[in-house]
Amino acid sequence: MIEMENVQQESKKVIFSAIQPSGTLTLGNYLGALKNWAALQDEFNCIYSVADLHAITVRQEPAKFRKQIIETFALLLAIGIDPQKSLVFIQSQVSQHAELAWILNCNTQFGELSRMTQFKDKSARHADNVNVGLFAYPSLMAADILLYQADLVPVGADQKQHLELSRDIAIRMNNVYGNCFTVPEPYIPKIGARVMSLQDPSKKMSKSDDNINAYVAILDKPEDIMRKFKRAVTDSEACVKYGEGKDGINNLMGIYSAVTGKSYDDIQAEFEGKGYGDFKTAVGEAVVEQLRPIRERFDNLMKDKAYLETIYHDGAAKASYIAGKTLNKIQRKVGFLKR
C-alpha cells in the first residue's frame, strides 16, 4: 500500500525536473542541474525523473538503452537524491506523461516548435532521423512539468527556451479551459548554468561531443579528470582573471567556483602570480574530490539491482497517483467522457 499522505505536502512548493538517460552524464549536467536537485530537497516538495521517453527522439540501441536508464536512475540516488524525501521515477513507467503530451500537442503551434534552437541543432545533427517526436519534444517536457503542477523547474540555461514554451502552453490552456495548471518558473543557478566545452569554450559541454577531452563525465576516473583539465584550452595571457575574450579561463573559474563555493574575487586572489598550470591542477583536484563519493555510491548502488527496482516501482506508483489526478481533470475540461 502506498502512503499517499507523503506524496504531496501541500505547504511546500513543488519542484520538478528531469534528465535524459542518453549515455554519459557530464559535469555540465551536475553543476547546471543535479547538484541543485539534491540541495533543494529539504526546502521543497521535489519530483525528479529519468526522461527516457525524451531519449528515444534519437535512435537508441535497446539493450544499451535499458542499461543507461538504470544507470541514470542510480546516479540520481548517488548524487544525493533521497527517495525518503523526494519522489524519483522513470518517465516511461508513468503513462500519463504520454497522454497529457498528446493533449498539449493539440494546443501547441507548429511555429512555436519550429523556433526551438535545440530542435534546429538536433535536426541538423541527426539529419537522417528528423522524427515527429524530436519536433514535439518540448510539449512532452511541458507535460512532465504540468502534470505535477510544479512551481519551479531547476535546469541549466540551455533548457530556458523549452521552459518558456511550457509556460506559454500552461497560460494558453488556463485561458481556454480555465484553471488547468500552475505556471512554472525556471530555476537556473547563477554559477554553473552553462558549463562550456574544455576544448572549445564557445560551445556547451556536451556528452555528444566527438572529442572526449571536451567533457568531464560524472563517473570519469580521477586520472582522466586531471588529464582533461590539464589539456583544457585557455589563452596566452597567463593571468587567472575573469574577463572578455577569456572564455576558457572564465569557464574554469565558473567550474571552480561552483564546486568550491569560492567567489571569483577569492579565486583571483588565490591564484595571483601563479600560472595556468597551477590553476588547472587545482580545478581538476576540486572536481575529483567532489565527484569521488558520487562514483563510490554509484558503484555500490549498481550492485543492488533489487533495491533500485523497489525504489523505481514505488516512485512510479506515487508519480502516477499525482499525475492521474491532473490528467483526469484536464480530460474532463477538454470534454472527454469519464472513464
Active site residues: 122, 204, 207
The one-letter amino acid code at 43 reads E
Name, in order, each residue with C-beta under 8 angstroms of 304's C-beta and a sequence gap of 6 or more: none
Which residues of this protein are in contact with ligand TYM, per CB under 6 A? 16-20, 28-29, 32-33, 51, 54, 141, 144-145, 153, 155-156, 158-159, 193-195, 204-205
Q: Are 218 and 75 in contact (CB under 8 A)?
A: yes
Cell numbers standing for residue 34:
543535479
Nearest CA among 16, 310, 7 for reference residue 151: 16
Q: How far apart are CA 159 and CA 305, in angstroms?
A: 31
**208 vs 19, 58, 143, 201, 212, CA distance in Å?**
15, 12, 26, 15, 9
Cβ-based nearer residue to ligand TYM, 29 or 199: 29
Cβ-based nearer residue to ligand TYM, 156 or 284: 156
Least CB distance to ligand TYM at residue 218 (A): 11
Least CB distance to ligand TYM at residue 253 (A): 15
Least CB distance to ligand TYM at residue 35 (A): 10
Cβ-based nearer residue to ligand TYM, 151 or 271: 151
Cβ-based nearer residue to ligand TYM, 193 or 286: 193
Cβ-based nearer residue to ligand TYM, 154 or 284: 154
Cβ-based nearer residue to ligand TYM, 255 or 267: 255
What b-and-e string marks burial along 163-190, b requiring 16 or more CB atoms within 10 Å of the CB? bebbbbbbebbeeebeebbbbbebbbbe
**33 vs 40, 184, 191, 254, CA distance in Å?**
11, 16, 11, 14
Q: What angle do CA 25, 92, 59 make, to 5 degrees?
A: 60
In the bound complex, which residue of the shown chain has the CB atom lying closest to ligand TYM? Answer: 32
Least CB distance to ligand TYM at residue 246 (A): 18
The one-letter amino acid code at 59 reads R
Cell numbers standing for residue 134:
524530436
Q: How far apart are CA 140 and CA 116, in angstroms?
A: 14
Which H or E element spans position 50?
strand 45-50
DSSP string, 71-98: HHHHHHHHTT--TTTSEEEEGGG-THHH
Least CB distance to ligand TYM at residue 66 (A): 17
Least CB distance to ligand TYM at residue 83 (A): 19
Least CB distance to ligand TYM at residue 232 (A): 14
Q: How far apart are CA 86 and CA 48, in angstroms?
A: 7
Cell numbers standing for residue 128:
537522417
Q: Which residues pair with 88 in a beta bridge?
A: 48
Cβ-based nearer residue to ligand TYM, 153 or 271: 153
